[in-house]
Copies of this chain bind each other. A is one copy, B any other.
């Protein structure tokens, strides 16, 4: 166990941690004491039919999701909904290499898969007394968890919304995930995961952040100097003040376990093909692609949508590209809210 103050309520605001016992893992092995960190907004109503689940994206926690997607007057409104924002395994707040003791500590922490998140989150819902979910919604790797929920626990999912994510990570994105991992493990300070503190891997973390700069935001975001709309005076200041600051505080092994999970994200299980797996998702679904997204291009999102029996594709407009999911743009938040409101208003037989 290593202390890392980044992964604390002082940085991410209040959250709860559910101790969920031993969790067998899809890629082998088990977490002996699986912990899932989550934050909620609103309350479960008496009928128990107002719960919404929102899992986190790569490197994110519950905080940016609460800030960007949940609030009074929003589509996800604590006055009406019980919103559970759940941190994915390995993100530093839920079970992660740095805060695990014993045999699975640090570099010995096992490989994680999206399916593990769904199983851990199912237990969390049981603990919270939540049966059905009115909506499972996620962005990026959160969308991949939402797809897995709809495919593997369909009895609990009444509606599905996936934002800027695909059911299977594309081969190209898998290569990018590999390159992002390369940027970290190539730092001699990483030392096969035996580093003492993230600061020892600072060069690698900076390279990882610099590569995100080149792929996470769209080409137009940079050429049109769209970072100005986020309050930065230069591209260099945006990179230093936002991307470098964001990623260099994180634990290298946490990032690596998430990258490995991203690389292998695949909603299929066993011998089922994608058409079969997505074709079995009967829940009304919205597939929200971002027009300038280079990581999960609209064409790939559209291909998934075409395999879902009850889905509609909507293309969100944002020059930012993939990282629009942070929700810094009012126009992005408004578009997402409009679509989610429509989905939530739909009567489910």
Contacts and interface: CB of A to CB of B under 8 A. Distances in A.
Given A170-B219, A187-B186, A175 B207 contact: no
A81 B296 CA distance: 45
Given A188-B188, A214-B172, A235-B171, A297 B219 contact: yes
Contacts of A170: 219, 222-223
Contacts of A218: 172
Interface in A185-211: 186-188, 203-204, 207, 210-211
A178 interface: yes
A335 interface: no
A125 interface: no
Contacts of A27: none
A218 B173 CA distance: 11
Interface string A160-189: 000000000011110110110011001110
Contacts of A178: 210, 214
A188 B182 CA distance: 14
Q: Is the interface of A mostly helix, strand, loop or mixed?
A: helix
Contact of A203 (B186, B203, B211, B300): B186
Nearest to A206: B182
A213 interface: yes
Interface residues of A, number: 31
A4 B170 CA distance: 38
A294 interface: yes
Nearest to A321: B172
Contacts of A297: 219
Interface string A113-151: 000000000000000000000000000000000000000
Interface string A210-226: 11011101110111000
A215 B176 CA distance: 8
Contacts of A214: 172, 175-176, 178-179
Interface in A297-311: 297, 300
Contacts of A204: 186
A222 B172 contact: yes
Nearest to A300: B219
A300 B300 CA distance: 22
Contacts of A215: 176, 215
A207 B179 contact: yes
A80 B96 CA distance: 67
A207 B223 contact: no
A327 B222 CA distance: 30
Nearest to A303: B223
14 contacts: A170-B223, A171-B223, A171-B235, A172-B217, A176-B214, A178-B210, A178-B214, A179-B214, A182-B183, A186-B203, A188-B188, A211-B211, A219-B297, A294-B294
Given A172-B222, A179-B207, A186-B186, 11 more contacts: A170-B219, A170-B222, A171-B222, A172-B219, A175-B210, A179-B183, A179-B210, A182-B183, A183-B183, A223-B300, A294-B294
6 shortest A-B CB distances, which residue pairs? A171-B222, A175-B214, A172-B219, A176-B214, A179-B211, A172-B222
